[in-house]
Structure formats: structure tokens, C-alpha cells
Structure 1
Amino acid sequence: MHSDVASLSKASIWREASRIFSEEGIRAFWKGNLVTIVHRLPYSSISFYAYERYKNLLKLIPGLQSNGENIGADLCVRLVGGGLAGITAASITYPLDLVRTRLAAQRNVTYYKGIWHSLCMISRDEGVLGLYKGLGATLLEVGPSIAISFSGYETLRSSWQSRRPQDSTVLVSLACGSLSGIASSTATFPLDLVRRRMQLEGAAGQARVYKTGLLGTYKHIIRTEGLRGFYRGILPEYYKVVPSVVIVFMTYETLKMLLSDCPDN
């Protein structure tokens, strides 16, 4: 683990991509992609559904019934609703998120051979609770991440459309999704980094490095890598998150329009 951290400090995106290609081949770039899809389908569905439901519940609270007239109340509803939606979705689908990280982190030796095999091996090696290793860090990251992403997107979109209602939904989703994705990733990246470090702890029978939980992991990173260590790898995170968030929101808006146009049965 220490050697991995040291090598990461000297790596660049293209150097790491070249290493992966030379050592593992082109297919390695999609390693764990199946479990990513299996995880993302319920995760995204639960996130958006829960977000709308939580917003409706929060608007029942006196003082938050703004109907678009109270910007502060609207922002509060979106932030809290997004945070609760992220926590709900992450809690339900977390074992798949853990398996995704373990599968993607494998290099030359294949210890986990698939989704079901990974679930069984993790349960055998680390106990059933091992399937929820790093959940605390994940919830600390996902709550603010979804809160910023959803509230940022919806606030920007509402503001844009109130000023330029003639602009296309695709253009609005593209711009607002990009900005909300960047803001969300920047604010929560240290928590995401700690989450992934904790998820990989003890993988494939390796010795543990972070032995004192969430705070111990933070202290270890500060001591060995400095404050900059918390943002190591943020550039590829932008490359991944920005188009991902844009596609998700564009798809969401498009499906909402299509479904709203469908005649009632």
C-alpha cells in the first residue's frame, strides 16, 4: 500500500493510462464496468426518486413552503433533499460500490472473479460487515456531493430559464450539469479519496495500513502525503464526473419531458 501511494505521487494521467495499457491491455480500462452499471442503475434511480420525495416532504415544513418565491427556502429544500437522497441511495447500494472498487483495483493477480464471487470472498475474508467497509466515509462524501450536485443544477437551471426561457433544454442541462459536477467534485473529493482508500483496505488478503478508522485514515494521509494528498487524482475525476453528471441530468430532463407528454391511460 505504501509503495502504491508513492508511485501515485509521481504518476500523471497519461503515464498511468500507458502503464495500464502495457501491463493489462485495452480491456483493463473497462475493468469492473459491469458492476458499475449494475450499481449505477439502482443508485441513480433511487437518488432521483428519493430527491423528489424528500423535497415534497420538506415543503410541508412551515417556512419552507416558498413556491419559488423564497430563494433561501428553495435552496434549503434542494440541499437537504439532495443530501438525504444521496445517503439513502448509497446505503442501499453500498456493497456493489465496494465490489466495483475492488474489481477495478486488481492488477496482475485476479483475486475477485466477478460480482457474486467478490461478495462471497469479501464476506468470507472480512465478515459480512466487510461489505460495508468505508460506509461512514461514503455517506459523509455522498450526502454533500449529491446535495451540491442536485441543488446546484436545479438552482442554476431555474435561474437560467427564468432569464432565457427560449434556450434549449439540452444546452441548459449541459452547462448547469457541468458547473454543478465541478463544484460537487471539488468540494467532496477529499472524502471520496478517503472512502476509496478505506474500501481497498485489506483487499485480497493484503496487510492493513489504515487501522484506526476514518480519522486515522485522514491523519495517515496528512502525515505521509501532506494536504495535497487529499486532491491527488482530482483532474481525472473532473474528466469522469463532468460528462457523467451532464449525461445523467440530460437523460433525466429528457425522460421527464417524454413521460409528461405521454397521455394518461
Structure 2
Amino acid sequence: MQPHAGEAQIGGVVGGAHRALAGAIDDRPNSSNEASPSGAMQEPQVRPVVRAPSQISTVSQLLSGGIAGAFSKTCTAPLARLTILFQVQGMRADAGAMMNESPSILRETRRIFKEEGFRAFWKGNGVTIVHRLPYSSINFFAYEQYKMHLRRILGIEGNQESLGVGMSTRLVAGGGAGITAASLTYPLDLVRTRLAAQTKEMYYRGITHALVTITRDEGFRGLYKGLGPTLMGVGPNIAINFCVYETLKSMWVAKRPDLSPVLVSLACGSFAGICSSSATFPIDLVRRRMQLEGAGGRAQVYKSGLSGTVKEIIAKEGLFGLYRGIFPEYLKVIPSVGIVFMTYEFLKRILRPNAWDGL
């Protein structure tokens, strides 16, 4: 498979009658060296090549990534809120009693429904969409741009790269894309966490009110609380996501090109999400808690920076405290990441001119 510059292998693969590997070469054996019926050797023929469609425009690429991220987050918003609530349990006033209880998704789900109503499962989803549209757009766009430039720097053309070089390129490009997207959209991520972490007491009434209130109470720097651990976590998280997804998908397509692209995207994306979440969940938990420091005018819980926060969590809650909420996180990322990649690939094909020509 020959990737098109700027088009990741993340570009969709359509099986069966709609096999549309981006930049793929028709590898069927040709008859250039076969004897003609008369016994004479025919002149070598040029193997037919299926040209990859032209790269989609920057606007279309950004739009595809943004819609994919927003759609995925909306579908999994209830599980995302449960994850956040479990992650910040150690910061609540009744944390001592809660530490003696094992986390229960059903118990917390019943509590939310009883105390806050059904709509509360999507609390903070508005700011999530506002955040995810630019975040996912920048993330996907930056990834493909970084990978394209890395391939140029390394002098890689077509499918010349080895498995190791390909994985390294995807890891670096994915890490850079994650850091770029998180840095540019961080205040919205912080607001999302604070809105989702609210239970019965509503200190922040919406996106604008939260931004204004945080700036007033904590200063402009308050909008960037927890940025350090966020960048430490999001870089590896996105890098692992893209690397595992693309590597697994390219191997899968090479062996079973007839499989449905929807199933391939969902399966590879879900597995990529599990891998990335498992590796970076403790950092994600720490960043959530640092984002909530001083929220609603409350006193700070952790006052010794990133390393001190980790030590304090382990001391009070044990090693498991760093993984509080991992189960709803797994339930969330399995469909979430799969939906993101599937939607992104589908929209890229829809928005790319003449994407289905010649199929």
C-alpha cells in the first residue's frame, strides 16, 4: 500500500466492491512476461496503477476531524462524566467515607439520575462539543501534516518505510499533534472538567460564566491549571492512539482486504483506545484533580505540584487511587475512539472531490 503524502493510512479502506485504499497500487499479477498464444513473448507492459484521489482541502480535513470528535464525545458523554466523577472522588468533602467503598458504576448512575435528573448525564457536554470541534480538527490535521513533513525529512516515499520506522513516525507525529491541540484549546478543557464535576451545587452556570469566574477568582493563569500533566499525558495518549490504530489497520487490511471498513475502523480504534488509556490514565487522573484545585472558591487540596500530588494520592488512596475510574473509562474509549476514526474516514471520503470515482 502506497500512502499518499499528507493522507495517513488513516484514510478509509473500503472492502469488497468498494475497495478504495488511498494511494493503493493494483498488485494483481500482470501478463507482461507471459507467452502469447503464438509462443512469442509480449513486450513488457506497465502495471496499471490506481491513483489516489487528490488530498482533501485543509478546511474539509479540519471539518472532518472536528465533527468526528464532537459526535464521538456526545455518544459517550454519560460514561465520560462517570469517569470524571470517579477520578475526583478523593477531593470531595466526604472522601473519607467514599474511600472505604468500592467504585460502583450502577450506584453512581442511580445517584446522578435521582439527584440531578436524566439530562445530568450530559452535563458539560456543551463545552465538550465546543472544545472537541477545534481540538479534534487541530489534532487530525496536525497529525497528518507532522507525519507528511517527517516522511519528507527522512526521505521516505511510498511504502519504503519499515515497520519500525513507520511506527516511530506515527508516534512522533501523534505526540506532536496531541500537544499542539491541547495547548491551543486548554481553557475549554478545564471548563469542561469543572462543569462535569459539579453535582448538586452549581457554582459555574455555563461556559462563559465559568471562564469569567475562573479568571476573576484565580487569575488568567487559573485557566491553565493542570496544563503540565495534560501535556505529559496527551502527547503519549494521542501518539499511542494513532500508532496502534494505523499499524494494526494496515496489517489487518493487508491480510483481509475484503472486510468491512466500518468494522475494521471500529475494532482497530477501540483497541487503540484501550492501549492509550491504560498507559496514560494515572496522568489523566492527576490532571483532572489539578484542574479542580480552587474550583468554586474552595481551598486547595494538593499544594506540592505534580510529583507531590501523585505521592499524596498514593498515600491516601493507595496505588489503586491512580486508577480510580478506569473501568468507565474503558467502557467509554472502546466505542469512542472507534467512532472517531470511523467518522473521520467516512467524512474525508464524503468531502474529498471525486472520492469514489473509478471504483
TM-score by length of 2: 0.71
Counterpart in 2 of 1:242?
Answer: 334
For residues 161 and 257 of structure 1, the distance between their equivalents in structure 2, rounded to whole angstroms, comes to 18
Runs of 4+ in 1 over 6 A off after TM superposition: none
Larger radius of gyration: 2
For residues 60 and 5 of structure 1, the distance between their equivalents in structure 2, rounded to whole angstroms, comes to 53
Counterpart in 2 of 1:106?
Answer: 198
Q: After superposition, where does 1:11-160 map in structure 2 within 5 Å?
A: 11-62=103-154, 67-160=159-252
CA contact (8 A) 1:9 1:232 kept: no
The alpha-carbon deviation at position 176 of structure 1 amounts to 0.3
Q: What letter is aligned with 1:173?
A: S
For residues 213 and 151 of structure 1, the distance between their equivalents in structure 2, rounded to whole angstroms, comes to 31
Question: How big is each residue's C-alpha offset from its partner over 1:173-204, in whole Å with a ceiling of 9 and x where there is no partner?
Answer: 01101100110111110010001010111100
Q: Which runs of 5+ in 1 are unaligned?
A: none
Question: How big is each residue's C-alpha offset from its partner over 1:53-95, in whole Å with a ceiling of 9 and x where there is no partner?
Answer: 0001111233766735411110001000000000000000100
2:345 to 230, 253, 260: 253
How many residue pairs match? The answer is 263
Q: Which runs of 5+ in 2 are unaligned?
A: 1-90
Query: Structure 1 81/137 Cα, relative in aligned 2: closer, same or farther at 3 Å?
Result: same
Percent identity of paired positions between Structure 1 and Structure 2? 65
The alpha-carbon deviation at position 107 of structure 1 amounts to 1.5
Counterpart in 1 of 2:266?
Answer: 174
CA contact (8 A) 1:95 1:132 kept: yes
For residues 82 and 5 of structure 1, the distance between their equivalents in structure 2, rounded to whole angstroms, comes to 36
For residues 250 and 8 of structure 1, the distance between their equivalents in structure 2, rounded to whole angstroms, comes to 38
Q: What letter is aligned with 2:342?
A: M
For residues 56 and 72 of structure 1, the distance between their equivalents in structure 2, rounded to whole angstroms, comes to 17
For residues 132 and 174 of structure 1, the distance between their equivalents in structure 2, rounded to whole angstroms, comes to 33
Counterpart in 2 of 1:232?
Answer: 324
Greater per-residue helix proportion:
1
The alignment partner of 2:315 has SS state of: helix
CA contact (8 A) 1:68 1:74 kept: no
Question: How big is each residue's C-alpha offset from its partner over 1:91-120, in whole Å with a ceiling of 9 and x where there is no partner?
Answer: 001000000000111122211111011000
For residues 84 and 131 of structure 1, the distance between their equivalents in structure 2, rounded to whole angstroms, comes to 22
The alignment partner of 2:148 has SS state of: helix
CA contact (8 A) 1:64 1:73 kept: no
Counterpart in 1 of 2:254?
Answer: 162
TM-score by length of 1: 0.95
The alignment partner of 2:154 has SS state of: coil
Query: Structure 1 63/14 Cα, relative in aligned 2: closer, same or farther at 3 Å?
Result: same
For residues 232 and 4 of structure 1, the distance between their equivalents in structure 2, rounded to whole angstroms, comes to 16
For residues 142 and 5 of structure 1, the distance between their equivalents in structure 2, rounded to whole angstroms, comes to 27
- The reply on whether 1:216 has 2:344 as its aligned counterpart is no
Query: Structure 1 8/52 Cα, relative in aligned 2: closer, same or farther at 3 Å?
Result: farther
